[in-house]
Amino acid sequence: KKTRRGIGGFVSDLPSPENLASMVTNVTETMWGLSFGISHQPADLPWEEEPCWRTATLPINGPRHLNVAVASDKPGGTALCSAMFMCEVGEVAPGMIDEGLSELANIVAGQVKNAMGLDDTLGLPSLAAKPAGDAQKWRAATLSNDNTSVRVWVAVTEGAA
């Protein structure tokens, strides 16, 4: 793994975009039959081109104070939650998207914590249109599923978001 000097002088070993993609797919493929790969679309920050994204950000509280974020646009969030909650796409309410993204952020945060060997506590997710702070500082991947309209942005950063 590549390392870099992180916020507060820690050496950062944050998961790579490929590892983040794998963490999401490990969950979504097993539980809901959805696998993801890294999107080859040019937008690193998808909500700048498509503003209707929802983001669940969850802190990992400890000496390094990490944050994990999972975001999706409305069509992707609807398709993802349809699979998660085993219902038709037309039955997915907006609150279900927030709940689904929050749950996925919680699961991915647990995997990040495990992968990094941390004994820190997971906080509660917060919801917004995009992650707090400078999104360029997040180690991120935009993921897509070739068989559905689902696109997901997943990221981790060090320091307060």
pLDDT in tens, the chain (161 residues): 333 444 343 435 888 888 888 888 888 888 888 888 887 665 555 556 666 688 899 999 998 889 999 988 888 889 889 999 999 999 999 899 999 999 999 999 999 999 999 999 999 999 987 777 666 677 878 787 777 667 788 888 887 65
- Name the β-bridge partners of 68: 58, 156
Instruction: Please state the φ and ψ torsions of residue 147, each to the nearest 5 degrees.
Output: -95, -10
Do 159 and 14 meet the contact criterion of CB atoms below 8 Å apart? no
Please tell me the distance from the alpha carbon of residue 62 to that of residue 73, in angstroms, as a whole number. Answer: 30
pLDDT at residue 85, rounded to an integer: 93
pTM: 0.82
Please tell me the distance from the alpha carbon of residue 84 to that of residue 78, in angstroms, as a whole number. Answer: 10
Q: Is 54 left (phi over 0), alpha (psi -120 to 50) or beta?
A: beta
Please tell me the distance from the alpha carbon of residue 21 to that of residue 39, in angstroms, as a whole number. Answer: 10
pLDDT at residue 161, rounded to an integer: 58
pLDDT at residue 112, rounded to an integer: 93
Please tell me the distance from the alpha carbon of residue 31 to that of residue 131, in angstroms, as a whole number. Answer: 26
Do 30 and 20 meet the contact criterion of CB atoms below 8 Å apart? no
pLDDT at residue 4, rounded to an integer: 40
pLDDT at residue 52, rounded to an integer: 67
- Name the β-bridge partners of 126: 57
